[in-house]
Structure 1
Amino acid sequence: MTTKAIAILIHDFNSGGTEATAFRLATAWIALGHRVTIVAGADRGAMRDRVPAGADLRLLSPEIPRAATSRLRLGAAMAPVLREVAPDVAYITGNFHFWIAPALRRALPGLPIVAKISNPLLPDLPRVVSGIAQRTLRRLTDAIDVFVAMSPELATRDRPLIPHRPIRIAPEPNLATDHHVLSREAPPAIPHILAIGRMERQKNLALALRSFAVLRRDRPATLTILGDGPQRARLEALARRLGIAADVAMPGFVDDIAPHLAAASLLLLTSRYEGFPAAPVEALAADVPVVATDCSPVLRGLLPTPLHGTIVDHATAPALAAAMRATLAQPFTSGGVRPHIVAGYTADASARRYLEIFDEAIALRSCVAR
């Protein structure tokens, strides 16, 4: 496999899962001897200090902050930078950034573009608008050479929407290459619930608070929500209204979640939808069970038994509270059963698979250019 120059395209340093996994991949690619350039539209966000050592960072000037139509301008603004950097392949980190691709394709017709499908390609839509959405999706995906799905289940779900484009599968780099299982001793005297996610509509953290409030009616417990976002004030107000604020901590975005996982009785995931949620993998790797809404088809493979956790079909506070009660009755440690199921999700394995996909995209673009 030849050394590659890889450009990672991001809007900013938002504390989201796509940015975190992209930086983890970048670290692994650099360790394998490849040249990585990160092109960002704006120099802002909680993950600014987590740019991997050895990566070449290029910031747009003038910058393009996030706004309603900012993604429509990113591709054209990034094209001159990419022309100068001359990467072998450009990597788009998730659906949010698909809008970059058409302008890049027009400006740099020979540039191979690979994009990860980070969430469902299309939500459930009324018939009156589904046709428009599918035509827009086709316009965006025509500019991308190869798509990457995070599991076979997600590839099967999305393939009918983009039958004209190849979808390949790569494991998510949710775990560091040198990951080791955390030391977990006796369970805490008071069960501790952990939720991880950006405070926005998709993550539905209001449901986490309501579910915790129901659980608290019949037993003591504490809840920590790791993450930040536009709904913080609303969530803090809801915790006060529910009478649980004294037992809820919201420390914001944290660099190291390991201490929180080590002390957690379970991870609570309340998202409305997800592609491949990183938090359950990180929790299971730390021997922490998971209670989740039915927000992603991959969860059934990650949570096959009650020891691993529970998927709640009906996303209501009473149902989630009941699932938490049942999960808290499971053993605090699993003798390696939980970590074993996610052992393949390391940065090194994912990075090497992506390099194979990049080779395919380079070959495909070369054929088109002839």
Structure 2
Amino acid sequence: MKRSGADMAAVAKPRVLFVINSLAGGGAERVLLTLLEGSEGLRDRVDFSLALLDDEPRAYSPPGWLTVHQLDVRRSLLRSILQLRRLVRQQKPDLIVSFLTRSNLASTVVARGSGLPNVISERANTSGHFKPTLAGNLSRRLVAALYPRASRVIAVSRGIADDLVRNFGVRRDRMDVIANPLPADRVQHLARQESGLSVPRPFCVAVSRLTPGKNVRMVVDAFARSGLPGSLVIFGEGPERAAIEAAIEQHGLAGRVLLPGFASNPFSTMRHADFYVSASNGEGFPNSLVEALALGLPAIATNCASGPSEILADLSREEVHGLTIAPYGILTDTNAVDQLADAMQAISGEAERLRAAGPVRAAEYSVERACTRYWETIAHALDRPSLLSR
């Protein structure tokens, strides 16, 4: 029987399987769903679905039109490989696209064993991501063994790409640097909603998990040294809360440093702040920093690996030294509390310029631009350069 043109188009439509650990919460999960939602217009040319390795409660809901395959590997790399291999044999995708380290490792093993191309997306600065433990060292060795075998590797910052090339053997010609997408309309919509936390001005704001690597205690220390009036609001939760509360008491800042915990919508409070501040010792791509710029907040960030220098100065980390007044914010060295305090004092003199520059910079991280870049990489890995052509 002769096939119709529609039948031929359906046969030719490539099948792309996206893979992530779960949708239990976190920046990578939110980014993946943002990309998938922004790709809905490609459904007539691509058949794509999503596999979740861990059967955990979902903090985010995938779009209703997306086919979701729920696995149950219980955070095991071996079970991830075995169950993903079974799914690939059933679904017969033409390409696997994965996010987060365990998904990346499992997808690369399965893709190589199945003769499929694959694209992995690295979200964190890899060298700083693994602790110097037996498990951490094993993970590092697995990354070094498997990441170079992926068809394409996407890094969310130039610093991460450089680290993968320098320390993990990934070839530069297989790398693409694609920053996280910022759904600016959504951020602005949430910012206009009524705030559940009313804070009198002046105040500054931080948004971060309360973990040692985020170094939120240094924000409190620097705020105390700065002598600034008003309040500091820190959105986020984590194991460092007790230590941060102790620092607040030590500095006599009770009632002036607020720890409201995790907020699904911090933007309605953030938009009223005088500036945003981050003292992190390590980032993959700091989403909250770009969200602050989108809201027109002057921003201060430590020059950690990786991302802040690229966002605020359009420079590599190695090109920035000390307290730096950059085009889109202020950068300081990591673990330099006096510099951070000085930046807090200096930012009022830059506020008018930065409030105008921030949204312009944030617009460069649009969902449309990120989706286009991702699908260009996917088309290259599929050897289908015409995939995005209409």
Q: Do structure 1's residue 24 and structure 2's residue 34 form an aligned pair?
A: yes
CA contact (8 A) 2:119 2:378 kept: yes
Partner of 2:67: 56
CA shift in 2, pair 1:288/1:50, >3 Å = farther
Q: Contact 1:115–1:144 (CA<8 Å) still a contact in 2?
A: yes
- Deviation of residue 6 (structure 1)? 3.3
Q: 1:341 aligns with which of 347, 361, 386?
A: 361
Distance 1:55 1:152, change over 3 A: same
Identity of aligned residues (%): 23
Structure 2 equivalent of residue 193 of structure 1: 204
Counterpart residue number, 1:328: 348
> What is residue 361 of structure 1 aligned with on the other side?
381
Candidates 295, 298, 305, aligned match of 1:296: 305
- The correspondence for 1:41, drawn from 45, 53, 70, is 53
- 1:154 Cα deviation (Å)? 4.2
CA–CA separation in structure 1 for the residues paired with 2:181 and 2:129: 28
Deviations 1:118-163 (A, max 9, x none): 2223239999x99988753331214421101224454344323324
What amino acid sits opposite 2:218 in the alignment?
A: L
Is 1:172 matched with 2:180? yes
In 1, the alpha carbon distance for the partners of 2:129 and 2:371 equals 32
1:236-269 deviations in whole A, cap 9, x for unaligned? Answer: 4443444434223333333334313311221111
Deviation, 1:323, is 0.9
> Is 2:342 aligned against 1:310?
no
2:278 equivalent to 1:269: yes
Q: Using a 3 Å threshold, how does the CA distance of structure 1 residues 237 and 111 change in structure 2: closer, same or farther?
A: farther
State whether structure 2 residue 214 is matched by structure 1 residue 208. no
Question: In the alignment, residue 123 of structure 2 is paired with which amino acid?
Answer: S
Match of 1:281 in 2: 290
User: Which has the larger displacement, 72-81 or 138-147?
Assistant: 72-81
- Alpha carbons of 1:189 and 1:250: their partners in 2 closer, same or farther (altered >3 Å)? closer
What is the match of residue 122 of structure 1? Answer: 127
Whether the aligned pair in 2 keeps the contact of 1:35 and 1:55 (CA below 8 Å) is no
Q: TM-score, normalised by structure 1?
A: 0.80
In the alignment, the residues of structure 2 paired with residue 235 and residue 277 of structure 1 have an alpha-carbon distance, to the nearest angstrom, of 21
Q: Counterpart of 2:371?
A: 351
Secondary structure of the corresponding residue to residue 128 of structure 2: coil
> Partners of 1:244 and 1:73 in 2: how far apart?
49
Structure 2, unaligned runs of 5 or more: 1-8, 193-198, 314-324, 385-390
**Amino acid across the alignment from 1:253:** F
**Within 1, Cα distance between the matches of 2:184 and 2:257?**
29
* Pairs within 5 Å for 1:129-140: 135-140=141-146
**2:92 counterpart residue number:** 86
Query: Cα–Cα, structure 1 residues 302 and 135, in superposed 2: closer, same or farther, change >3 Å?
Result: closer
- Range with greater deviation from structure 2 (93-102 or 254-263): 93-102
Partners of 2:261 and 2:109 in 1: how far apart? 35
TM-score, with length taken from structure 2: 0.76
Structure 1, 169-178 or 322-331: larger mean CA deviation: 169-178
Query: Contact between 1:306 and 1:330, CA under 8 Å: does it hold in 2?
Result: no
Structure 1 residues 38 and 190, CA gap change in structure 2 (3 angstroms): same
Label 1:32 to 1:234 Cα distance change in 2 as closer, same or farther (>3 A). farther
Across the two proteins, how many residue pairs are aligned to each other? 350
Q: Give the superposed CA RMSD.
A: 3.5
- Paired residues for 1:173-252 under 5 Å: 173-176=181-184, 190-215=201-226, 218-252=227-261
Measured in 1, the distance between the counterparts of 2:63 and 2:259 equals 27
Shift of 1:92: 1.8
Distance 1:86 1:125, change over 3 A: closer
Change in Cα spacing, 1:227 to 1:131, as seen in structure 2 (3 Å) is: closer
More displaced, 132-141 or 309-318? 132-141
SS at match of 2:84: helix
The structure with the largest alpha-carbon Rg is: 2
Q: 1:72 and 1:303, CA in 2 relative to 1: closer, same or farther beyond 3 A?
A: same
| 2:288 aligned partner, one-letter code | A
Partner SS state of residue 275, structure 1: coil
TM-fit CA distance, 1:15: 3.0
Secondary structure class of the residue paired with 2:260 = strand
- Show the counterpart of 2:165: 159
Q: CA deviation at 1:179?
A: 6.9
Contact 1:193 1:268 in 2 (8 A): yes
